[in-house]
Amino acid sequence: MNKRFNQVNSSYRDNIMRVNIRQQMAHPMSEFLGTILIVVVLWFGGILVLDYGRIDGPTIIFYLVMLYSIINPLKEFSKASYNIPKGLASMERINKILQAEVEIKDKENPEHISSFEHQIEFRHVSFAYTDRKSAELVYVLKDINLVIPKGKTVALVGQSGSGKSTMVDLIPRYYDVQEGEVLIDGINVKDLAVHDLRMLIGNVNQEAILFNASFKDNIRFGKTEATDEEIANATKIANAYEFITKSEHGFDTNIGDRGGRLSGGQRQRVSIARAILKNPPILILDEATSALDTESERLVQDALEKLMKTRTTVAVAHRLSTIKHADEICVLHEGKIVERGTHEELIEKEGYYKKLHDMQQV
């Protein structure tokens, strides 16, 4: 792995160096050639004026002025020779995204669903991806069986790469399983209309997905018909109302690309406000507080607890302190559920969960 990384890194570095050398040489070369051209015109024009009298002084000055007017546009060609290929390469990458085929599609005559009544079930679920080098299937989840009743909170914990995020991504059908079934109210998610399925689910991820728009537009993304009053109420529950109203233009303030004008905690609270406004019966929390400082984590955790009330919640967490009150905690290791129970039950077992808990207490 390290050898392959070093090879790719070296190749990338060499390509960048070649591009930068050509880019940096373009300006000096254009200046040099422009100077040579002026010298040639002065030399040849001087000969014509002094020796042959074919042209007079004002005429040679006119030619020099014309030459100066032409040189600057010519210099821009050297910049264009770099920017045009760069733009074409960017356009090619953008077109790949715009023309990419949607892999998850509705089946013919899918079932429609408008509410969540009973439970989410993972029944003998296995998920794998294809290794690029060997073309073999590498299993991330192996024979997962789990029932999540309506109104309960289930937490998934384990080391990085154990399959936690993959597992929650199967509920809104971001991927299709190779083996087994994911069921909502007894219906396989593959049989449901994708739009209907995802309207039942709200996501709050570690990296909040925000757009270069106003607070208001970002919050009502999942419910475009929401009123200003509904948006304000959602932000109050999410502990976001205060900092939004203190911003320059209030709810109409632009937050920048990916919410770049906000802190990590503020971005998360805007994301939570969006989920509150959508009011989904199923909530997925994927390490929503793992990248925050203590103060931001407290505010976000408080907002999440308000959001989780009366909802069915599946939470992925690294910080075990954030999921102590979950109705059930499932411990994943190498793609399998190795332990399950409440926080107190798992501590008493003195198994893998207890080991993770003790490591975080140090």
Tell me how far apart the alpha carbons of residues 36 and 24 are, in angstroms, rounded to a whole number.
Answer: 20
Where the chain has pLDDT below 70, the residues are 1, 26, 52-53, 78-82, 288-296, 361-362
CA gap 327, 348 in Å, rounded:
16
113-139: burial string, b at 16+ Cβ within 10 Å, e else: beebeebbbbeebbbbeeeeeeeeeeb
Q: Residue 324 has what pLDDT?
A: 80
> Three-class SS string for 281-316?
CEEEEECCCCCCCHHHHHHHHHHHHHHHCCCEEEEE
Element (H, E) at 148: strand 137-149
Task: Give the bridge partners for 283, in sequence order.
Answer: 202, 313
Q: Residue for token digits 């003790």?
A: 358
Supply angle C-alpha 234, 219, 149, rounded to 5: 65
The predicted pLDDT at position 1 comes to 59
Interval 264-303: pLDDT, tens: 788 888 888 888 888 888 888 887 666 566 666 777 777 7
Nearest of 28, 22, 21 to residue 75 by alpha carbon: 28
Neighbours of 277 (CB within 10 A): 21
| Its pTM surpasses 0.75 | no
In this prediction, residue 79 carries a pLDDT of 67
- Report pLDDT for 121: 92
Segment 58-90, tens digit of pLDDT: 777 787 788 777 777 777 776 666 677 778 888
Q: How many CA atoms lie within 13 A of 221 on its CB side?
A: 17
β 153-158/282-286 pair status: unpaired
